[in-house]
């Protein structure tokens, strides 16, 4: 369990950092990166930007790594 939590924490931490840096790079190019959670056929657009997804993944990664070290 400890190794699985540490592994999951590292993977989600790296993925979150990559999403945040991709959002920063695209912002400097004048582009916006977002993920649509709505249904475009019904004209429902719920846009979540990459930095929000990245921060969520980073926080999950940090929490799971801390939990893995405490076991």
- pLDDT tens sequence across 8-64: 999 999 999 999 999 999 999 999 899 999 988 988 999 999 999 999 999 999 999
Domain membership flag for residue 41: no
Confidence class for position 6, pLDDT limits 50, 70, 90: very high
Q: pLDDT higher for 18 or 70? A: 18
Q: Which contiguous run of DSSP H or E holds residue 49?
A: strand 47-49
What is the pLDDT, as a whole number, of residue 71? 81
Domain membership flag for residue 29: yes
Domain membership flag for residue 4: yes
Domain membership flag for residue 1: yes
Distance separating alpha carbons of residues 18 and 51, to the nearest angstrom:
9
Number of separate domains in the chain: 1
What is the pLDDT, as a whole number, of residue 26? 95
């Amino acid at each position: 369990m400890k190794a699985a939590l540490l592994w999951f924490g590292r993977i989600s931490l790296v993925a979150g950092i990559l999403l945040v840096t991709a959002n920063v790079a695209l912002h400097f190019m004048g582009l916006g990166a977002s993920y649509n959670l709505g249904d475009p056929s019904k004209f429902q657009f719920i846009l979540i930007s990459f930095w929000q997804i990245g921060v969520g993944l980073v926080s999950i990664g940090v929490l799971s790594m801390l939990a893995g070290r405490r076991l």
